[in-house]
Amino acid sequence: MIQILNRIKFRKCGIILPVLLVLCPFGMYSQEINTKALFNAPKESKEVVANTNPAVTTTPNSRQNKPSANIPSDMDTSSMMWLIQKALYDTTGIILFKEEELPPADMPDSVYIRRLAAMPSIISLPYNDIVRNYIVYYMQKHPRHSAKMLGLAEYYLPVFEEILDAYNIPLEMKALPIIESALNPVAVSRAGATGMWQFMLGTGRRYGLTINTYVDERRDPVASTYAAAKYLTALYTMFQDWTLALAAYNCGEGNVLKAITRAGGKQDYWEIYPYLPKETRNYVPLFIAANYAITYYKEHRLIPEPIDIPVRTDTFMVNSKLHLEQIANTINIPLTQLRELNPQYKRNVIPGNERPYELRIPSEYTNAFIENERKIYEHNEAKYFNPNIVVNPTTVSKSNKSTTDSSVKVSDSQKVTHQVKSGESLGIIAGKYSVKLSDLYSWNNLTEKSTIYPGQKLVIYGKSAAPKQTENKPVTVTSTASSDEKYHTVKQGDSFWSITQKYNISMESLLEINNMTKNSKLLPGKKILLP
């Protein structure tokens, strides 16, 4: 059997030192799960690889991992796989596997060597004991969890390949999210790296990802892959070597440049290996093993586990605020599916009033979404979003307070026209005339979501003068506008632009006179003042 010796050589000892890892509990959790545990990990070995090179620092990481209990049975697949994946290596230092903790390789080294050599890759995929141990871990130690990861890979890897190919990046890089996050879009590390590609906040924004209170595109599988392709391209441009680009992706460009300097200018991953951060030393072997796993899993009799994520989807651009529950409750899409397809919306809110955002839904709901779009936006809008966006506070002096706050008596047969003043609300007006708020709505063809504006005229009726109305049907009110004021009644499909074109007026003057913005909603039946 052919044996491949480890290429890592320490200068002073002049010996070949295989560096191995062990499963270590850790404290990194996904935002979407609540767990105190990892899983039944092997007992840790206390035997740590000695530092035989004084150039390599051995200062322990201050963030020590804490022991953990068993993993809860209800944890979702992607979170489970991410926890397992993160256990493969630890930032606190390299620890040796005990011999009894891994089963013996089910195949001779020569088979692994031949298979790695046969893989069509321009990235070097060498074989050594570290790579073998990771392959054994994937294929034999946790086959059930690897089957779940392979099921996710069948769904996500074609998406990655298409984007990587567009940037002329080796398609082997599609395995990178496997070792970063186990294909969990909402994975979050202790350091704050987020998403499948584990971007830090600053790096994500540098490569065009939107990150704010509502949106984190690091969690968007498509957007984050585009950002990762840009980042990998920049790293390859810097180092002219994909293996070094991989190392830099893990520990940063600065650490790789330092390792190159300490290695006397050598620019080969295995030559600078002893000078890299400890977790990065095992990053490339783990990458090699992940590529082996997704290529040769059939030879190890592993079957990808089916996943419950819709394969066929449609994308809509959302231009107003929209809550995922509004969609789920209106056209009966399972909320869990909406979250899975749109993981970038941290609070289940699409802030489309800021700029257009994408919404992905299963294809079988496309027609229902189109036919019920207006109902979706209007469904419980007041519950999810505060309709009082524009507030005009007023200061009332003591001298006119009694006049402003005094109620107005309306006789039974009287009809009164009230002109809205700055700072007034429908509730204040109803109280002033001692009428029911619901009556005020119906008399003026308004709803609880309607917005009133200064100068708008409302009608108030006495008891006997109030027009009769059918249940739940608002009364159509004749316009009380004076001859020098003109109003437009909003119709279905109207927009600010179409109104300005119809009346040959400017957008700015229309918005200003109605105390509105371009993002204000135009509800059918609402009257707006024309300049």
- State the catalytic residues: 180
Residues 218 and 261: their CA atoms lie apart, in Å, by: 32
Residues 396 and 91: their CA atoms lie apart, in Å, by: 63
For 127, 170, 299, 463, the CA distances from 412, given in Å and listed in that order, are: 94, 82, 89, 5
Q: Kindly give the residue spans of alpha helices, DSSP state H, lying in 66-211.
A: 77-86, 109-118, 129-136, 143-166, 176-181, 201-206
Helix then strand then coil, % of the chain, to nearest 5: 40, 10, 50
Q: Name, in order, each residue with C-beta under 8 angstroms of 112's C-beta and a sequence gap of 6 or more.
A: 105, 127, 131, 132, 135, 292
DSSP annotation of 199 reads B
For 317, 386, 462, the CA distances from 373, given in Å and listed in that order, are: 12, 20, 39
Torsion angle, alpha carbons of 246, 189, 323, 159, to 10:
20
Instruction: Determine which helix (DSSP H) or strand (DSSP E) holds 370, and give its type and residue range.
Output: helix 366-371
Q: Give me the residues paired with residue 215 across strands.
A: 345
Q: Name, in order, each residue with C-beta under 8 angstroms of 368's C-beta and a sequence gap of 6 or more.
A: 331
Token pair listed for 177:
């999210």
Token pair listed for 46:
């206390």
Q: Name, in order, each residue with C-beta under 8 angstroms of 250's C-beta and a sequence gap of 6 or more.
A: 279, 280, 283
Encode burial over 1-34: b for 16+ CB neighbours within 10 A, e otherwise. Answer: eeebebebbbeeeeeeeebbbbbbbbebbbebbe
User: Which residue is listed with tokens 């680009």?
Assistant: 245
Q: Give me the residues paired with residue 315 across strands.
A: 360
Q: Which string of DSSP letters, residue by residue, matches 40-93?
A: -PPPPP--BPP---TTS--PPPSS-----BPPPTT--HHHHHHHHHHTT--TT-
Beta carbons of 228 and 200 less than 8 angstroms apart: no
Candidates 300, 301, 296, 292; CA nearest to 128 is 292
Beta carbons of 507 and 497 less than 8 angstroms apart: yes
Token pair listed for 31:
């935002």
Rg (CA), the chain: 32
Candidates 528, 526, 491; CA nearest to 512 is 528
Question: Quick one: how far is CA 331 from the chain centroid?
Answer: 23
